[in-house]
Amino acid sequence: MRFAASDPCQLIDPRRAGLSRLIPPAWACLQLMLMGLVTITPLHSVAHSAEVDPAESDPVVARVNDHEIHLSAVYESIESLPLGDQIDVRDQLERFIDSVVREEVLFQFVLGSDFKGAPELRARIKQEILDHLITTQITERIQINDDDIRRYYEENLELLSHAHVRASQIVMASNAECAEMRRNIKTEAMFQDQARSRSLHRETAERGGDMGYFMKIKGPLGFEEQLFDMTRGEMRIFPSEDGCRLVRLTERDDTPVPPLEEVQEGIIQTMTRQQEARLLLDLLERAARAVKVERFSIPPGQ
């Protein structure tokens, strides 16, 4: 770094708005370098090193550890100053570069200490980083076009129609018992009485066998979509882990599929959430490969 010979740790340029309160005394700056906490590539060395082509439009003017400071970053910092100060600073560019470098030195010093003694600062910066990652790695990468929306609409007509059915069940130990019960039950009231008194599935038995509502999508029972082939009051036998289920269709709503224009906004929201989930999972997997994580048991009584 090109320091003034009389003061190798001169203060950061006070015209850098809001930074004067962050400047350490000269001995602290010297201590950072002597302790080897940071390594600084001198300005003149970078300008003549083989790694940097002088013909490049955006040369590296300094390097703090592995972070390169480009000339464009220096000019961006200058442009953030009041207009009058910009004119003065451009006449003393090398001194301003020293100021930018010292800011980076201080920043990396705090990073290297893991913000010890400053948990609130660490929390604020962590939140800023997370917000940045969500914006750049997730929000800005979501891509949904008209073809995607129409394809989703055509592939999910049943789901978008909001058509649904309601069913009740009686769980028995064998198919023979279910078949006999189907022959004997004539009304909904009889079905509910038999469910309460004989069904092996006590949770639904307490409700007269009511299983709730179903949409025409695959579910954990394995026969949800087949319910839509039944008429109201019809009973069918389906397999169960406990033996068999005698299922009766109690309600049916065949709401037609709305036009694309009515559901387009909802489709966009759904597709956005799906892409957000995929992008977040990818980001977490990449991050997990780059860091070491240790988990510890919570002490008893904590």
Question: What pLDDT, on the 0 to 100 scale, is given for residue 172?
Answer: 96
CATH number of 163-253: 3.10.50.40
Cα–Cα dist 252/228, whole Å: 8
Q: Which of 26, 4, 105, 25 is nearest to 63 (CA)?
A: 105
> Long-range contacts for 73-77 (Cβ within 8 Å, ≥24 apart)?
73/100, 74/100, 77/16
Question: Virtual CA dihedral for 132, 133, 137, 138, nearest 10 degrees?
Answer: -90
Question: What pLDDT, on the 0 to 100 scale, is given for residue 297?
Answer: 83
Strand 67-70 and strand 164-172: the pairing is unpaired
pTM for the whole thing? 0.54
pLDDT one digit per residue (tens) for the chain, 302 residues: 333 333 434 433 434 433 333 334 343 343 334 334 444 444 443 344 445 454 468 899 999 998 898 988 888 888 887 776 665 665 688 888 888 889 889 888 888 888 888 889 889 999 999 999 999 999 999 999 999 999 999 998 877 888 899 999 999 999 999 999 999 999 999 999 999 999 999 999 999 999 999 988 888 999 999 999 999 999 999 999 889 999 999 999 988 889 999 999 999 999 999 999 999 999 999 998 988 888 788 788 86
Cα–Cα dist 47/80, whole Å: 25
Residue 144 and residue 266 in contact, taking contact as beta carbons nearer than 8 Å: no
Q: Could you tell me the residue ranges of all domains in the chain?
A: 20-116, 163-253
Joined together, the tokens standing for residue 286 give 């990449």
- Please tell me the number of Cα atoms within 13 Å of 87 on its side-chain side: 2
Cα–Cα dist 248/234, whole Å: 6
Cα–Cα dist 163/93, whole Å: 70
